[in-house]
Amino acid sequence: MTPEELRLQEDRERTAYWKRWEPYLSDRQWGTVREDYSPYGSAWDYFSHEQSRSRTYRWGEDGIAGISDSRQRLCFAIALWNGHDPILKERLFGLTGTEGNHGEDVKEYYFYLDNTPTHSYMKCLYKYPQQAFPYAQLVEENRRRGRSEPEFELLDTGIFAEDRYFDVLVEYAKAAPEDILIQVTITNRGPASHTLHLLPTLWFRNTWGWNSDVETPLIKVVDDAELSVIEAVHPTLGSRWLYCEGGSDLLFTNNETNHNRPELKKNVACMETPGMGARRLLAIVYGSKLKRILQRMLDETEFFSPHGIRAISKYHQEHPYVLNCHGGDYYVHYEPAESTTGLFGGNSNWRGPVWFPVNYLIIEALWQFYQYFGDEFTVECPTGSGQEMTLKQVAIALSHRLVAVFEQDAAGRRPVYGGLALFQTDPHWRNHILFHEYFRGDNGAGLGASHQTGWTGLVAAMILQNAEHQTPRGDDGSP
């Protein structure tokens, strides 16, 4: 009797469960009837490949060259990144029945090379391009072609030209039913060196999201002097361990649906286009949209006050926002000082004053955008002034206006003290600075709590930043 025949006998007699871990992981779970909860049975469109990295499956999981236990509670597969793709390569891509000119079809190249009946040994080969995977091209060209034309395949895109791809060979070998060696061998078939990021991934299928009575499993780090070790604890499967050779870095995330991403994606700036110094950008706004926002934000008749960005546009002082609800009209006015309503306890107001934490975040964002766009990207600041500034200069100009809240003007008066004569003129009072909660949107006078150093103390960071860039303030608040 061969070793494999012995394993088969043990499995039949239930003395050893050699088939507990097999390639039960689907090649594709998205776009299938298994995950279709659409009202009209449109499975292909209800759960797309685009959504698969943001939504949890209900009835199964998929992956590249992956395995799982027989009930698909704990899964293992590989993820890859070539440095150019906009997403991780975690699953196979293909066209749905409504996208392909000849129906649904996988647009990848992978091969199951070897497997024993008990899956004591398994081998799979995946060919991964070194350049950005042509997702859009495959969809658009196949959609353009008619039924009399052949399918447009991944090879037809030229992505494998000059053998610029990786052979990713994944092997599994069982020393015992619960002792599995996993080996991943990467071969660069191209003419030049190229970096490939390999992320072996262990995860639980989400069963707790559909049933509140199901206990949530846990994946955690186990201390080990030589290896990186992960323990996966499941209420019915028990504990399993993944041992990673070489002290690899470990990354963790939850297998939960990101409810915001599908709606926001159309507004998120693309990370594919490199900026200054080959930097990448992940932002809600980009280029022309950013300019349109800054055009309003830097308008002194709207948001750009002499002492920072107002919480609401001054435009609404004469043009309040009106909401009709259940027969009644509700108004939102620009209110530069204390609130005229009892909202938020009546002592806070987000409808006009200047708040330091929000302004600080704006300054930080402007610096981040500047590091990406560089000096070529300019905006008019203030709006209508005819003066063009880089985003760095805008950040500094805004910072100067905020610092000016506490500085003495030519007459020796500080905007923070408003009309308080004692603080403005008495030598025993005028140099004792209070860090107010927020500041009047018209003149910078301090309002709310008077010792709000937790966030108004951010002015110190602005002063330091201005000093580092040696930018004295002009009369108009510009550097």
389-428: pLDDT as tens digits: 999 999 999 999 999 999 999 999 999 999 999 899 999 9
| Within-domain flag for 205 | yes
CA distance 291 to 301: 17
| Within-domain flag for 400 | yes
293 in the same domain as 235: no
**8 A C-beta contact, residue 25 and residue 67:** yes
pTM (two decimals): 0.58
Residue 243 pLDDT exceeds 90? yes
Residue 472 pLDDT exceeds 60? no
CA distance 144 to 141: 5
| Within-domain flag for 41 | no
| Beta-bridge partner residues of 179 | 176
Q: What is the mean pLDDT of the chain?
A: 90
What tens digit of pLDDT does each residue of 430-454 get? 899 999 999 999 999 999 888 888 8
| Lookup: tokens for 2 | 């061969």
Sign of CA dihedral 288, 294, 300, 303: positive
Tell me whether strands 21-22 and 94-95 are parallel, antiparallel or unpaired. unpaired
In whole angstroms, what separates CA 230 from the centre of its chain?
A: 25
pLDDT band at residue 359 using 50, 70 and 90 as cut-offs: very high
320 in the same domain as 399: yes
pLDDT at 445: 94
- Note the maximum CA span of the chain: 102
Q: Bigger pLDDT: 82 or 473?
A: 82
**8 A C-beta contact, residue 129 and residue 147:** no
What tens digit of pLDDT does each residue of 289-299 get? 899 999 999 99
CA distance 448 to 114: 72
Pick from 217, 239, 267: which residue ends a domain?
Answer: 267
pLDDT at 21: 96
CA distance 349 to 335: 8
Pick from 211, 234, 267: which residue ends a domain?
Answer: 267
CA distance 88 to 408: 54
- Lowest-confidence segment of 89-93, 227-231, 339-343 by average pLDDT: 339-343
**8 A C-beta contact, residue 91 and residue 63:** yes
| Within-domain flag for 58 | no
pLDDT band at residue 270 using 50, 70 and 90 as cut-offs: low
CA neighbor of 430 nearest in space, from 415, 443, 441: 415
Which residue shows structure tokens 């597969």? 77
| SS3 state of residue 99 | coil
DSSP state of 410: T
Which residue shows structure tokens 């970096």? 195
First-last CA distance in the chain:
85
pLDDT at 343: 65
318 in the same domain as 254: no
Residue 240 pLDDT exceeds 70? yes
Residue 248 pLDDT exceeds 80? no
| Within-domain flag for 231 | yes
Residue 315 pLDDT exceeds 70? yes
**8 A C-beta contact, residue 301 and residue 314:** yes
CA distance 415 to 419: 9
113 in the same domain as 9: yes
pLDDT band at residue 473 using 50, 70 and 90 as cut-offs: low
pLDDT at 476: 46
pLDDT band at residue 173 using 50, 70 and 90 as cut-offs: very high
pLDDT at 57: 93
| SS3 state of residue 331 | strand
Based on its alpha-carbon atoms, the radius of gyration of the chain, rounded to whole angstroms, reads 30
What tens digit of pLDDT does each residue of 72-82 get? 999 999 999 99
What tens digit of pLDDT does each residue of 36-75 get? 988 888 888 889 999 898 899 999 999 999 999 999 999 9
219 in the same domain as 334: no
pLDDT at 350: 81
- The phi, psi pair for 173, rounded to 5°, reads -135, 125
pLDDT band at residue 256 using 50, 70 and 90 as cut-offs: confident
The backbone region for 412, taken as left when phi is positive above 0, alpha when psi lies in -120 to 50, beta otherwise, is left
357 in the same domain as 221: no
CA distance 316 to 335: 9
pLDDT band at residue 223 using 50, 70 and 90 as cut-offs: confident
447 in the same domain as 384: yes
Q: What is the dihedral of CA 149, 152, 155, 157, to 10 degrees?
A: 120
| Within-domain flag for 36 | no
Per-residue three-class SS string for 356-367: HHHHHHHHHHHH
| Lookup: tokens for 110 | 């992978």
211 in the same domain as 311: no
Distances (CA, A) of 405 to 107, 198, 359, 477: 60, 52, 13, 11
Over residues 219-226, the mean pLDDT reads 88
434 in the same domain as 320: yes
pLDDT at 79: 97
The backbone region for 352, taken as left when phi is positive above 0, alpha when psi lies in -120 to 50, beta otherwise, is left
CA distance 416 to 438: 10
Instruction: Report the domain count for the chain.
Output: 2
| Within-domain flag for 166 | yes
Pick from 267, 296, 311: which residue ends a domain?
Answer: 267
Q: Which structural domain range is residue 190 located in?
A: 3-27+65-267
CA distance 437 to 456: 7
| Within-domain flag for 104 | yes
pLDDT band at residue 475 using 50, 70 and 90 as cut-offs: very low
pLDDT at 184: 97
297 in the same domain as 173: no
455 in the same domain as 318: yes
441 in the same domain as 410: yes
